[in-house]
Structure 1
Amino acid sequence: NCAAKNQVKFATCTLHSVALTWWNTRIQTVGYEAAYGMTWKTLMKMMTGKYCPRNEIRKLEMELCELKVKGTDLVSYTQRFQELALLCGRMFSEEADKIEKYVIGLLDMIHGSVVASKPKTMQEAIEITTELMDKKVRTFAERETVSKRKFENTSRNTQSQQRQQSNK
């Protein structure tokens, strides 16, 4: 949640070892202003090109294509999707492409509702999806509780009737 103008500075401050040496050399080559003036997207392309072999990127792209929500674990799905989307940026020429891919991996029970809501940004898609999933999980839990109560009441009534019959 870093301001766009500070993303490159923040990210490069976390570099270490070989990557830090590479960045310091970059600053010396193009100058401080040019190095820190580049966009986040440009930095990601440079670093991906430098440190991510093409065959590894292909594997990540395949993982992204096959990524689906497991159970109701939307948090893990969203986190992994965002990590892969960062590294596989060339798969998404526009934000709408990324949103579409994110929605494809959702569970059927919320997929249609998310599509119908027509999210304009990834953040909006994530928020809508989270809200819908929470609602579905809550509804399921409430139904389970009601079913359990009905079963317990039926069970108690049956036991009570059996006792009454045995007392006769």
Structure 2
Amino acid sequence: MNGGNGGNGRNNGCIYKGFMECNLKEYNGKGGAIALTRWIKKIENVIDNSGCAENQKVKYAASSFVNKALTCWNTQVQERGREAAIGMSWADLKALLVEEICPSNEVEKLESEFWNHKKVEANHVGYTDQFHELAKLVMHLVTPELSRIKRYIAGLAPEIRGMLRAT
């Protein structure tokens, strides 16, 4: 799929048809944090593969919403206005979906899992992958970036943690 830059090094975006040819799956807003995380991974792959420009991500992603997710989106359009809603950043849309779609008890469980996430034995890759997955769902706990770094280091084994500094 063409990145939409015509070989000039600039990303001029993609056309909607090209975006849809990447086999985008509908997102219904059901399944809680796990389903949301999977949809986000899939949609980010579609965004990358289709060459979407930053200002197209939210608009095109929203076209996959049905049922509960569509109701949530329509509420945003009504409250903010269409241009403001499609003009929000990709990060803001993801945070909004977590807030609106994930039940508060599930978010609390994710926050607890994030705070208690520790590296076990020699599985550094597993620790890092899981850390990033959890961080995507609890963005408010890892912003600014220094908070993310400190939390990552805190989950490492004491002998490793002692060799590192977050600043």
TM-score relative to the length of structure 2: 0.54
| Residues 1:7 and 1:105: Cα distance change in structure 2 (over 3 Å) | farther
Partner of 2:121: 71
Letter of the 1:52 counterpart:
C
| Residues 1:99 and 1:12: Cα distance change in structure 2 (over 3 Å) | farther
Q: 1:29: how far off?
A: 6.3
| Matched residue SS, 1:106 | coil
Tell me: higher relative CO, structure 1 or 2? Use CA pairs within 8 A at least 6 residues apart: 2
RMSD of aligned alpha carbons: 3.0
The structure richer in helix per residue is 1
Question: What runs of 5+ residues in structure 2 fail to find an aligned partner?
Answer: 1-43
In the alignment, structure 1 residue 51 sits paired with structure 2 residue 105 = no
For the residues of structure 2 that align with 1:45 and 1:29, how far apart are their CA atoms?
Answer: 17
Name whichever of 4-13 and 81-90 sits farther off. 4-13
For the residues of structure 2 that align with 1:23 and 1:108, how far apart are their CA atoms?
Answer: 44
In the alignment, structure 1 residue 37 sits paired with structure 2 residue 57 = no
Identity %: 38
Q: 1:48: how far off?
A: 1.9
For the residues of structure 2 that align with 1:111 and 1:57, how far apart are their CA atoms?
Answer: 27
In the alignment, structure 1 residue 62 sits paired with structure 2 residue 92 = no
For the residues of structure 2 that align with 1:110 and 1:24, how far apart are their CA atoms?
Answer: 48
| Matched residue SS, 1:71 | coil
Question: What runs of 5+ residues in structure 1 fail to find an aligned partner?
Answer: 119-168
Q: Residues 137-161 of structure 1, C-alpha deviation per residue, up to 9 Å, x if partnerless?
A: xxxxxxxxxxxxxxxxxxxxxxxxx
| Residues 1:80 and 1:4: Cα distance change in structure 2 (over 3 Å) | farther
Q: 1:27: how far off?
A: 4.3
TM-score relative to the length of structure 1: 0.54
Aligned pair count? Answer: 117
For the residues of structure 1 that align with 2:57 and 2:121, how far apart are their CA atoms?
Answer: 34
Q: Residues 61-117 of structure 1, C-alpha deviation per residue, up to 9 Å, x if partnerless?
A: 11111101122222222222122222222223421111100111112343233327x
Letter of the 1:81 counterpart:
F
Q: Residues 30-67 of structure 1, C-alpha deviation per residue, up to 9 Å, x if partnerless?
A: 45432221123422332122111222111111111110
In the alignment, structure 1 residue 81 sits paired with structure 2 residue 131 = yes
